[in-house]
């Protein structure tokens, strides 16, 4: 129905009308279902990058501390240790699905819910009626501008989570905000009461940071209290993700031991820096990175540790922000020794056009077509190609799809398993 309506209404007008439809739906379904989340406390996590990992860290920390806690994220949803994979592309579920899951959690007496909350869900009022007690901001960079129109509107949509939290008189009414983000004060002003975290001057500051290929560790300090944190997820960005979890734990009154042990207990998040090991003498990593900011942070962390060549495969979303494509290409071309450009989710856009935009950036960074930059339409074929070219000591990064179980083109959605494709390619290589 939504697609049919969009066909006959101009995009700009539809963008103004759509939120009211979702708001009516949210109000009606909350009334019909008796406001299923009313007696729960909800931790909303938003940001451009890091939402899923932060949600998993917070959920695991609370679960280990003995809370009856639910999780709704990009990757999975569930209660306690019973976490089910999320099969759709959508981070924040539709209103009917949200109601159904909150009802299931209410039936099991869930106390706290960790809910990834996107700018789309906020702007469309899909989370109306959700009683946010704590709002978390991971970071905010240019993304989803094809929907929001401007960066300012994107920020305003994210900010709604913090005003909604402030207005929940039955909640904690507090924000956990990345102080190192340039827009931090905008979010602090929205919620009023906030814990600012970061690696620079902040209420909750990470010091003595140590990065390894498999983990991060640091000391977190707040008002004289020290936390010795070890997070089993590699990458400097996971200092921030885990530090946000420390902030949540502090606000909720967890002990230092509960915070430390809870964060250390999370072994991995599917499609987030997932290492694929089939006995090969080079590294293969699957990650969901799909924005210029996430590319740059990932490449800066990975590059110094690569013994051989860094080989990178990715595409870009059809109908998404076009401006980021050449930037992604340029970043990959700058840091990687080899770039393979392929499909991601072309949707109804011409895939050749998407790849050409990415290639433009890679060429600008000095990559030569058919020498150290290749364009391969089929993603499965592209994965076999890049893995087939890898040599001892190399690192292969497969970016953009991560955990997602489908890929979308003009003919619709099709099953997809990035990790499975990588394993198959490695096994196929070994046979030859």
Residue 396 has a pLDDT of 97
Q: Residue 317: which of 349, 271, 352 has the closest Cα?
A: 349
The answer, yes or no, to whether residue 10 has pLDDT greater than 90, is: no
Cβ atoms of residues 231 and 215 within 8 Å: yes
Q: What is the pLDDT of residues 26-51, one digit of tens each?
A: 888 889 988 999 999 999 999 998 99
Decide which of 242 and 18 is more confident: 242
Decide which of 384 and 6 is more confident: 384
d(CA 167, CA 421): 46
How many CA atoms lie within 13 Å of 316's alpha carbon, on the beta-carbon side?
Answer: 31
Residue 14 has a pLDDT of 41
d(CA 258, CA 134): 19
pLDDT over 90 percentage in the chain: 72
| Reported confidence tier of residue 145, pLDDT bands at 50, 70, 90 | low
| Reported confidence tier of residue 143, pLDDT bands at 50, 70, 90 | low
Decide which of 154 and 1 is more confident: 154
Q: What is the pLDDT of residues 348-407, one digit of tens each?
A: 899 999 999 999 999 999 999 999 999 999 999 999 999 999 999 999 999 999 988 889
Residue 1 has a pLDDT of 38
Mean pLDDT computed over 184-207: 96
| Reported confidence tier of residue 89, pLDDT bands at 50, 70, 90 | low
DSSP run (H or E) holding 331: helix 323-335
pLDDT over 70 percentage in the chain: 92
Residue 59 has a pLDDT of 98
Mean of all residue pLDDT scores within the chain: 90
The answer, yes or no, to whether residue 280 has pLDDT greater than 50, is: yes
How many CA atoms lie within 13 Å of 355's alpha carbon, on the beta-carbon side?
Answer: 21
The answer, yes or no, to whether residue 8 has pLDDT greater than 50, is: no
Decide which of 206 and 5 is more confident: 206
Q: What is the pLDDT of residues 252-271, one digit of tens each?
A: 999 999 999 999 999 999 88
Residue 11 has a pLDDT of 47
Cβ atoms of residues 202 and 196 within 8 Å: yes
| Reported confidence tier of residue 23, pLDDT bands at 50, 70, 90 | confident
Residue 120 has a pLDDT of 84
Strand pairing partners for 206?
Answer: 220
């Amino acid at each position: 129905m939504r697609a049919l309506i969009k066909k006959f209404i101009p995009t700009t007008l539809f963008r103004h009308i759509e939120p009211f439809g979702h708001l009516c739906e949210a109000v009606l379904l909350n009334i019909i279902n008796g406001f299923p989340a009313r007696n729960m406390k909800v931790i909303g996590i938003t940001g451009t990058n890091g939402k899923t990992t932060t949600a998993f860290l917070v959920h695991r920390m609370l679960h280990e501390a003995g809370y009856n806690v639910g999780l709704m994220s990009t990757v999975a949803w569930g209660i306690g240790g019973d976490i089910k994979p999320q099969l759709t592309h959508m981070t924040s579920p539709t209103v009917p699905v949200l109601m159904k899951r909150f009802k299931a959690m209410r039936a099991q007496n869930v106390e706290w819910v960790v809910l990834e909350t996107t700018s789309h869900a906020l702007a469309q009022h899909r989370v109306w009626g959700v009683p946010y007690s704590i709002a978390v901001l991971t970071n905010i960079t240019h993304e989803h501008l094809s929907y929001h129109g401007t960066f300012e509107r994107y920020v305003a949509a994210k900010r709604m989570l913090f005003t909604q939290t402030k207005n929940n008189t039955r909640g904690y009414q507090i924000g956990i905000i990345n102080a190192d983000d340039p827009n931090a004060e905008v979010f602090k002003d929205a919620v009023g009461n906030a814990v600012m975290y970061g690696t620079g001057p902040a209420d909750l500051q990470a010091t003595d940071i140590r990065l390894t290929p498999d983990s991060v560790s640091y000391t977190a300090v707040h008002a004289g209290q020290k936390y010795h944190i070890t997070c089993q997820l590699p990458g400097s960005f996971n200092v921030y993700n885990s530090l946000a979890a420390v902030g949540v734990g502090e606000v909720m009154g967890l002990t230092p031991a509960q915070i430390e042990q809870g964060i250390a207990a999370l072994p991995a998040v599917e499609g987030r820096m997932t290492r694929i090991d089939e006995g090969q003498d080079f590294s293969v990593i699957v990650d969901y990175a799909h924005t210029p900011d996430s590319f740059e942070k990932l490449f800066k962390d990975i590059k110094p540790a690569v013994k051989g060549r860094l080989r990178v495969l990715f595409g870009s979303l059809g109908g998404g922000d076009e401006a980021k494509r050449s930037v992604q290409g340029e970043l990959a071309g700058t840091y990687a020794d080899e770039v393979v450009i392929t499909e991601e989710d072309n949707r109804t856009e011409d895939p050749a056009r998407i790849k050409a935009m990415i290639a433009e950036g890679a060429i600008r960074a000095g990559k030569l077509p058919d020498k150290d930059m290749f364009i391969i339409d089929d993603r499965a074929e592209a994965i076999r190609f890049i893995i087939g070219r890898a040599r001892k000591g190399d690192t292969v990064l497969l970016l953009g799809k991560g955990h997602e179980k489908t890929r979308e083109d003009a003919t619709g959605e099709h099953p997809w398993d990035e990790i499975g494709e990588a394993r198959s390619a490695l096994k196929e290589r070994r046979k030859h």
